[in-house]
Every structure is written in structure tokens, then in C-alpha cells.
Amino acid sequence: MKERIRLHILIKGRRSIRMKALILVGGLGTRLRPLTLSVPKPLVEFANKPMILHQIEALKAIGVTEVVLAINYQPELMLNLKEFEKKLEIKITFSQETEPLGTAGPLALARDKLIDDSGEPFFVLNSDVISEYPLKQMVDFHKAHGGEASIMVTKVDEPSKYGVVVMEESTGKVERFVEKPKTFVGNKINAGIYLLNPSVIDRIELRPTSIEKEVFPKIAADNKLYAMVLPGFWMDIGQPRDYIAGLRLYLDSLRKKSSTKLATGPHIVGNVLVDETAKIGEGCLIGPDVAIGPGCIVESGVRLSRCSVMSGVRIKQHACISSSIIGWQSTVGRWARVENLTILGEKVQVYDEIYTNGGVVLPYREIKSSILKPEIVM
Amino acid sequence: MKALILVGGFGTRLRPLTLSVPKPLVEFANKPMILHQIEALKAIGVTEVVLAINYQPEVMMNFLKDFETKLEIKITCSQETEPLGTAGPLALARDKLIDGSGEPFFVLNSDVISEYPLKQMMEFHKVHGGEASIMVTKVDEPSKYGVVVMEESTGKVEKFVEKPKIFVGNKINAGIYLLNPSVLDKIELKPTSIEKEVFPKIAAEDKLYAMVLPGFWMDIGQPRDYITGLRLYLESLRKKSSSKLANGPHIVGNVLVDETAKIGEGCLIGPDVAIGPGCIVESGVRLSRCSVMRGVRIKKHACISSSIIGWHSTVGQWARVENLTILGEDVHVCDEIYSNGGVVLPHKEIKSSILKPEIVM
């Protein structure tokens, strides 16, 4: 009791930060099919934790008390997330679009949930993004420059594929955005993490609007938009290839923090995450860059590398899997070889000795003959 | 009795295996191809075998000296200086084949694997009293071959039709002949085809008879047929209840394992597999429809099907080798590699997967 009172005073004593955040969840998650045929994208696990939980936990950690999820689909998401509310002691509400509102419209739709009289800025996150989430640094950065909006940018090798943010290197003041530049104008792109003052919402109409094309350019023109270069890793994991690449980066960052979560042992190579309820047989070689979910059974002599194994999967003896995602409750047969961005949906059964080279397999399918080149198996 | 085995040339269709070893010495079901034939000839009383070759006599002769002693049969070579086709070599070897006894002599094509019912063929030859007997075998797609058109009851050959466009029959020349010495008088010492030039003449004289081969037959001169032939051969061993076939909980179907080979725990071997001397198959390996030559090491958890693994090669852990992959001598496939129909020349190391059938030099 005393402890609770003390804590309460401490919190009240500090000008309590009751920040809010909006996560743009968006639509159907078609790029992560067939996984998203079974489960809404935010709930698809990444490194053994639902994608959206990575973000909600990061927000909770810096004192966000309420998260609004901007969705336009998946009412079932609402039911599932009630559970997280309790566990994390954070309020989770929904703002559902009736028509797609783009990347800025949802902010206007959620206005009443985001703005209270505190005048605090609010976070906006893109749900496909996995990163270090240096949100405290972003809050400090935002206070320091005193502008209206902060965006996180990340450095990429091929900026011409993205929207590049052109900024003053010393202050971070954003000059302009250039979509898919043909000549080199910079190598920082929008990382999909923003910290916005409530006044930004005044600039957004309740209609399909792009934050990059319509809203930010205006704020930049007023010299009130600042960009912070994201330290650490960043990945948009909304499609399988990037999901796998992201897993490597994420596990690498766990390693750097000397996380005890990473598995160790003679059968482990590199960075590997194994849920405590998973079982791994003898003579396996697991890793690098592997995540094995709850209740999985990996029989003896199995080789896994660069792959994500969802909950309840059984991988039979001597199988060899790389660069793939194995969906919940699937089985991979003995001596099967699964590689090159094979994505198995929920409850897929790959028979013994089958080879799949980039097969994208819909839920409940049985694979009785080899898939020799990347293709969708309905 | 004597016999001539048409060994011929470079064995290019069985490359890369024949880059290391002359074709007749390439093992089939753990025994050099030519030994299958020499043993069958020895079994019915042939005392001398002449090998008609046009390449690598020295290499051949070294091995053959060995067989000569073991089998107590005389083996000589008749070497062409220019390619003489399928009949010319008989004329070249004339002096070796004719000894005045008047006995007919056998002619075998070295690529053929079959039951070799040579005793039955001798009886057939005596009964019809003609000049030449040929063995024919039934096939599903006769239009790809030379078809032998014959009188079904007597076996008398009417004519040969090369790759017929309409159906004329489904028996093809099986490459096993029993010929009277007089046939040699019909062959000039020049490039000659026995099917196109010699047999039609004998047939026109009503002196050529064909016997339908009972049992299996395969021309194993190329990898796909070599693998099919292995299945047929092992099946025929099974029918004879041969004790040579392996058994055990890790064996499926017909499998031949040399006694000096070692197989680890948790393997699943077969069907239709031959494993040669000194091979080491580590634990958890899956083999089906494949031939593993002498001295090969197959590492843990690998999976091999429909392929030929050449002498002293290694296949790495969790490697997957399939679809008519042929590894030449001393090829090393690294761990976790996939080979889909790779044809790999000797002494190569395979460090990255071969995704579609191709030659790796």
C-alpha cells in the first residue's frame, strides 16, 4: 500500500506524461498472405511475439497510456487485443475507417481519441515497421527543436526505390520530400514513426489523404518539420522477404543487448530464439537467424536457418529448412527440403522427402509432390 | 564357343562417369558392366570373349587380365583403327572368332543389361537351323527404335523397319545375336551396319530368326536408362530370391549393399539402390533409385534419389540430390546443397545449389 502511494505521488509529481499513440494498421495484409488468411496481420508473430505487441510494448515503456489502432478491417482484432490491455496495463481502442483514408486521414478520424487538453504530442506508428523504437530519444529531440512534427528517418542503400526525406543535416530540419528520386538527393527515407503536436490534426481533412504527399510538405514549408535519424535497425516486415531479413536484424539487436532470450547450446549457430515450450531433438543444427514458436516439435537431425517457425509446428527428422516461414500447426516431413521464401500457411502438411523452392501454400493444403519453382499453391 | 562384345567408343552418353573409366568398366549393380555379360557367357560354356573396341585398350586390358584369371575365360581385344559400325568389327575379329569348329558365336552389345537367356537362344538357333538368330524385346514405343517384323509362330524375320511411322510391330533388336561363321562372309571390312546391311540380306534368304527375350532388358548407356535398368535388374534378383539383396528395418524394396559398405543409424535405403564397396552412409540418410559407386561418403541427413554418385565422391549433410544428378569421380557436394539434375565433372566441389539440370564443368 505504501509503495503504491509513493509511486502515485512520484508520477503525479512529475508532470505526468499521459501520452497517446496511433498505430496505422490499415488493411488486409495481402502481402503477408497466406499467413494473413488465418490471422490479422498485427497478430502475426514476429520473433515469437505478435507484430503489434512489439510496438505496443515500446510505447508502454516510455509512458504511453493509450494506443489507438486505426483499422479498416478485422473486427476480430478488437477481441484479441483486450487480452493485451490487461496484461500490459495500457488502454487500447479502435478507430475504424469505413472507407480507406490513406496515411493521414485516419489521424483526423481518431482526433477525439488522440487529443485531450494536455497538449501532449502523440506518436504515430506504421504497423509493419520493426525497429529499435528509440522513442524516448525522439521525445527529447521533439522538445529540443520545438517544431510541430518529428519524423524518424532511416538510411537505405537504394533510396531511389522510396520516398526520400531531404533535410538539413545539422538541425534535422526537413526541406522537402522527393518520391523515388531519379538523381541522388539523399539516402534517408521515412521510417514510418512520427511524433506530432495536436495542431497537426488541424491540417488534416477527414478524407483519403497522404501524410507524406499532402501533410508533411505543408509542415516542412512552415519550417516546423524535423527528422531524426533512427539509430539501430529498421525494417518494413510487411512482406516475406523483408520479414526474414528483419528477423536477422532483430535477433542481431537482441545479441547486442546480450539478451538471455537467445538460445545457446552445441546445436545452435548464431542468433536463435526458441520458445521455452518448444522441443528440439538430437543432432539438429539450428540457426543462424531462426525463431521457433511455442509448442513446436523439431525432431532429430533437423537443419533450420533463416526461418520463422510458428506455434505448434512439427518438423520431422532430417528435414532442412532455410529462408522460409512455416505457418501455425503445419508439419514438414522427413528429409523434406524447404527453402527460398517458401511460406506455408496454417496447418499445411508437407510430405516426406518433398522439395519446395519458394512455394506459397494456402492453409490446410497437403503438399505431396515437390514445388520446383516459386509458385502459389491454392 | 566364342563371343564378341561390341564395346565401341567413348561412352559419351555416360559422361561424366566415362571420363574416369572406360564404359564397360563402369559398375552396374556393383559389378563392371562388361562383367555381367562375360559371366553370362562363361555360364553357358563360352571359352573366349573378344572385345571389339576403338578406344583405351590399355586401360581395359589391365582390368581384363584380372577377370581372365578369376573367371578362367580367355579375353582378347580387337581394336578398330577407324570406327567400323555395328558389323565391321565382326569382320575385323574374324580370325579370333572362327576356329574351324563351325560353332556359332555370340555377339553382344556392351550397353545391354538383361536376363541373358543364352542357353535358350542356343537351342532356338539349333531348332530353326537358320544362319543367324537375334534376340528381340517388346517395347511400348517402337517408333523410337528399329522394329523387327517377324512371323510370330516361327520367329522368321521378314524385315527391319527403322523408326516406323505406322505400327508394324513392337519388337526391337535387343542387341544379342547368335551367328553362324558364314555370316562373316557377308561382312566387308569397312564401316557397316549390321541392322541395315547385313541382317536384311540374311532375312531375304529366309535364314534370320528372332527370339523374344524373356525377362527384362535395358540399354543402360545413358543415365536415365541406367537408373531404370537398375530397378529391373534388382527386381529380377528378387524374383530369383537372391540372398544378395539387403534386408533390415532400414531397407525398403530391392537394395544391393556391398559387404564392405557401412550404413549408419536411422537411414532409409531403397527402393532400387546399389551401394558399392567401401561406401560410408552416415546416419539419417535417405536413398532411393540411385547408384552409389565405390568409396563414396554420404553425410548425415542427406537425401538422394534418381541419381548416380561417382567413385570417391562426398555428399554433404542435409544435401538434396535428385532428378538424374550424375556426379563424376571425386566430386564434393557441400553441406545443405541442392542439386536438381546437375551433371558434374570429376574433381569438382559444389558449393552452391544447382537449381535446374545443367552441366557443371
Per-residue pLDDT tens over the stretch A63-118: 999 999 998 766 666 667 777 888 888 999 988 888 888 889 999 999 998 888 88
> Do A301 and B305 make contact, defined as CB atoms within 8 angstroms?
no
Pairing assessment for the beta strands A314-315 and A337-339 based on DSSP bridges: unpaired
Residues of B in contact with A287 (CB under 8 A): none
What residues pair up with A372 in beta bridges, in sequence order?
none
Q: Strands, E, within A133-220: which ranges?
A: 149-155, 163-167, 174-179, 188-196
By Cβ distance, the residue of A285, A322, A335 closest to B303 is: A335
For residue A17, what pLDDT is reported? 62
Average pLDDT over residues B243-262: 96
Burial of B351 (0-12, 13-18, 19+ CB in 10 A): exposed
CB-based contacts of A248-256 (< 8 A; 24+ apart in sequence): A248/A288, A248/A289, A248/A306, A249/A130, A250/A46, A250/A47, A250/A130, A251/A47, A251/A288, A251/A289, A251/A291, A253/A132
Residues of A in contact with B266 (CB under 8 A): 300-301, 317-318
Q: Is the pLDDT of residue B66 over 80?
A: yes
Least confident of A15-29, B84-98, B287-301: A15-29
For residue A13, what pLDDT is reported? 44
Q: Is B54 on the interface with A (CB under 8 A)?
A: no
Q: Which of B:296-315 have CB within 8 Å of A? A: 300-301, 303, 305
Q: Is A169 on the interface with B (CB under 8 A)?
A: no
Q: Is B265 on the interface with A (CB under 8 A)?
A: no
* Contact residues for B241 (Cβ-Cβ < 8 A; gap 6+): none
Q: pLDDT tens for residues B296-319?
A: 999 999 999 999 999 999 999 999
Q: Which residue of A has its CA nearest to B288?
A: A353
Count of alpha carbons within 13 Å of A369, Cβ hemisphere only? 0
Q: Is the pLDDT of residue A14 over 50?
A: no
> Do B266 and A355 make contact, defined as CB atoms within 8 angstroms?
no
Answer yes or no: are the C-beta atoms of A226 and A174 closer than 8 Å. yes
Pairing assessment for the beta strands A149-155 and A188-196 based on DSSP bridges: antiparallel
> Do A303 and B317 make contact, defined as CB atoms within 8 angstroms?
yes
Residue B202: enclosing H or E segment and its boundaries?
Answer: helix B199-204
Q: pLDDT tens for residues A298-355?
A: 999 999 999 999 999 999 999 999 999 999 999 999 999 999 999 999 999 999 999 9
For residue B146, what pLDDT is reported? 80
- How far is it, in rounded angstroms, from Cα A200 to Cα B36? 88
Answer yes or no: are the C-beta atoms of A270 and A289 closer than 8 Å. yes
Determine the distance in angstroms separating the CA of B301 from the nearest CA of chain A, rounded to an integer. Answer: 5
Average pLDDT over residues B305-334: 97
Angle at B193 between CA B192 and CA B196, to 5 degrees: 130
Determine if the peptide bond prior to B271 is cis (ω within 30°): yes
Give chain A's mean pLDDT. Answer: 90
Average pLDDT over residues A13-28: 75
Answer yes or no: are the C-beta atoms of B302 and B280 closer than 8 Å. no
> Do B318 and A300 make contact, defined as CB atoms within 8 angstroms?
no
- How far is it, in rounded angstroms, from Cα B310 to Cα B313? 6
pLDDT class of A10 with cuts at 50, 70, 90: low
- How is residue B95 written as a grid cell? 580370325
Q: Structure pTM?
A: 0.81
Domains annotated for chain B, with CATH where assigned, are 2-219 (3.90.550.10), 233-359 (2.160.10.10)
- How far is it, in rounded angstroms, from Cα A47 to Cα A263? 13
- How far is it, in rounded angstroms, from Cα B175 to Cα A309? 56
- Selected for mutation to probe chain A from B265, B299, B301, B305 (highest A CB count within 10 Å) is B301
Q: pLDDT tens for residues A148-168?
A: 999 999 998 888 878 899 999
How many residues make up chain A in this entry?
A: 378
Residue type, A298: V
- How far is it, in rounded angstroms, from Cα A339 to Cα A320? 8
Q: What is the ipTM of this complex?
A: 0.72
Residues of A in contact with B336 (CB under 8 A): 303, 320, 322
Q: Is the pLDDT of residue A195 over 90?
A: yes
Determine the distance in angstroms separating the CA of B324 from the nearest CA of chain A, rounded to an integer. Answer: 15
- How is residue A131 written as a grid cell? 525497429
Q: What percent of chain B has pLDDT over 90?
A: 69
Burial B270-300 (b: 16+ CB within 10 A, else e): bbbbbbbbbbbbbbbbbbbbbbbbbbbbbbb
DSSP assignment of B135-187: EEEE-S-GGGSEEEEE-TTT-BEEEEEES-SS---SEEEEEEEEE-GGGGGG-
